Amino acid sequence: MIEEQQKTSEVERKYSNWIIASFASVVIIQEMYNIIFGTYVFFFYETEVKLGLVFLTMAYIFYAIWNMFNDPLVGNLADRPNRLWKRWGKRFPFIAIAIIPWVVSWGFIFTPPDVDTITGALTIFLWFLTFTCLYDLFYSIVSTNTSALLPDKFRLDDDRRKYSALRTFLGFVGTMVGSLIPPMFINYGVKSSYAQASGIVIIIGVIVTILFLPGAREDKSLRERYFEESTQQEEKISFISSMKSVLKQKNYMVVILVYLMSDTAGACLTASLNYVLRYVLNEPADALLLLMIFFLLGSFVSVPVWLKLSQKMENNRKLLLTAGISNVIILASVAFFPTYLSMMFAAFFLGFAMAGFKVGIVPCITDSMDENLVTNQKHMEGSSIGILVFFLRFSLILQALIFTTVHVITGFNPDLLAQPESAILGIRFHFGLIPAILFIASILFFYKFYDLTPEKTSRIKDQMKELKL
């Protein structure tokens, strides 16, 4: 009995703020690269490189398809029992090997060959596709293993909420860096300025990597538990069987689909920013700097508010619904702000609302993964996260298809500085209205089908203790 109590206390150990912050710091790189990718990549290749929309859309589709198979396979590979887990850990070796290649490979995306965009279109297409796929391979290895380690490492609700708040705060640091650095270097019409900005963020990524690795290391008790699992679970978990097990979990699939819709909304919003500035408001590239400052200010101000609200509610489902409604209200109106000054105020409130969704989504993911663990009675966190990312990659296809469809229908022409009124309306549409519609759909779906209440999650945690999971 004493031995079992000791083992339970080790599983539910409380971590220091330093370890939680170190582990959460990887989100700085993720958010830094994500905001730059979402804000600049489609815009860069359409308006600066002038790669045709057919090639660009096909590249996004092939890239997303690669992601769909890449992420679940990476997660499944990491879940397979290995006797080396006792010494090196289950997740840390994958993270340590892939993180530097991930950080460095980013720079190649913004350095395509300087060839004629008509005769050399295929060359540019293959360059973009090759390096985005390599970049995402290493990103998937780091992200999948980091996300899978989260619910296994932090078992206490207090640690999870603290991690969620720190992750949200550090995520905004990454968003801040990714938002503020590029406008300082980028000039519309100068392709080399995009590469200069990328070089700076790579250096920052290397520095964050050094801070992140100590928190990503599994402690001795966790490594021993992994080793014990590897000796008991000799049968390999096949990719197909693990995927089927996860797909049967209703609440986890609900969270995935809600995340997909919100991710697509965010992708449309961020990818629209440069179009709005350059073609709707006729502002220079560095005008994005001030908008992002207001967005980030709203985000920073809101984090303690949402955290306090989450602690008061003690209901992750209700918190996410509240944040989702806030996003709908702001997004429904943001497309019609007519001036640069009014856009600053919109950016502030948008940052406030979106921070709430980021604070609320992580506990819902971990709660649903706990339910999966109890249902299957085996650890498949890597496969679960891989499947999550599998579906999230559809947002890349959806954003590219939305932009391509809107630009073709409304007559957008990247060779024109003064766009026709129909194209201006199209930009406003994929900037605010489409994201608002997607958020409405996501919160209605979540409200209808997600049923992990505080009472139910409490029972699940009791079952985890009984099953020694």
Ramachandran area for residue 452 (φ above 0: left; ψ -120 to 50: alpha; else beta)? beta
Mean pLDDT, rounded, for 36-58: 88
Question: Average pLDDT, whole number, for the chain?
Answer: 80
- Of 171, 159, 48, nearest to 111 by C-alpha is 48
pLDDT at 126: 93
pLDDT at 80: 63
Q: From CA 57, how far away is CA 404, in angstroms rounded?
A: 7
Residue type, 372: N
CA torsion, ordered 155, 256, 456, 359, to nearest 10 deg: 60
User: Is pLDDT at 240 greater than 90 in this prediction?
Assistant: no
CB 172 within 8 A of CB 164: no
pLDDT at 237: 55
Domain boundaries, the chain: 17-231+238-466
The proportion of the chain whose per-residue pLDDT surpasses 70, expressed as a percent, equals: 83
Q: From CA 323, how far away is CA 311, in angstroms rounded?
A: 14
CB 345 within 8 A of CB 294: yes
- Of 421, 391, 378, 288, nearest to 80 by C-alpha is 378
- Of 23-32, 235-244, 323-332, least confident by mean pLDDT is 235-244
* Span 1-26, pLDDT tens digits: 444 444 444 455 666 778 888 888 88
Helices (H), 314-410: 316-334, 340-376, 381-392, 394-410
- Name, in order, each residue with C-beta under 8 angstroms of 311's C-beta and a sequence gap of 6 or more: 161
User: Is pLDDT at 143 greater than 90 in this prediction?
Assistant: no
Q: From CA 423, how far away is CA 279, in angstroms rounded?
A: 9
Q: From CA 292, how far away is CA 171, in angstroms rounded?
A: 14
On whether the 17-231+238-466 domain is CATH 3.40.50.261, my answer is no
Residue type, 106: W
- Name, in order, each residue with C-beta under 8 angstroms of 351's C-beta and a sequence gap of 6 or more: 294, 295, 296, 297, 298, 299, 302
- Of 209, 215, 237, 174, nearest to 27 by C-alpha is 174
Determine which helix (DSSP H) or strand (DSSP E) holds 101, and give its type and residue range. helix 92-105
Q: What are phi and psi for residue 115, nearest 5 degrees?
A: -125, 165
Number of neighbours of residue 341 by Cβ within 10 angstroms: 9
- Of 117, 386, 348, 96, nearest to 240 by C-alpha is 386
Mean pLDDT, rounded, for 93-118: 87
User: Is pLDDT at 148 greater than 80 in this prediction?
Assistant: no
Q: From CA 407, how far away is CA 53, in angstroms rounded?
A: 9
- Name, in order, each residue with C-beta under 8 angstroms of 192's C-beta and a sequence gap of 6 or more: none
* Span 405-436, pLDDT tens digits: 999 899 888 888 888 999 998 998 888 888 88
User: Is pLDDT at 203 greater than 90 in this prediction?
Assistant: yes
- Write the DSSP symbol of residue 430: I
- Name, in order, each residue with C-beta under 8 angstroms of 312's C-beta and a sequence gap of 6 or more: none
Q: From CA 201, how far away is CA 186, in angstroms rounded?
A: 13
Structure tokens at 442: 């996501």
- Mapped onto helix, strand or coil, the DSSP state of residue 252 is helix
Q: What are phi and psi for residue 178, nearest 5 degrees?
A: -65, -25
Mean pLDDT, rounded, for 87-115: 85
* Span 342-353, pLDDT tens digits: 888 888 888 888
pLDDT at 2: 41
- Name, in order, each residue with C-beta under 8 angstroms of 253's C-beta and a sequence gap of 6 or more: 247
The proportion of the chain whose per-residue pLDDT surpasses 90, expressed as a percent, equals: 10
Q: From CA 64, how far away is CA 220, in angstroms rounded?
A: 37
pLDDT at 314: 75
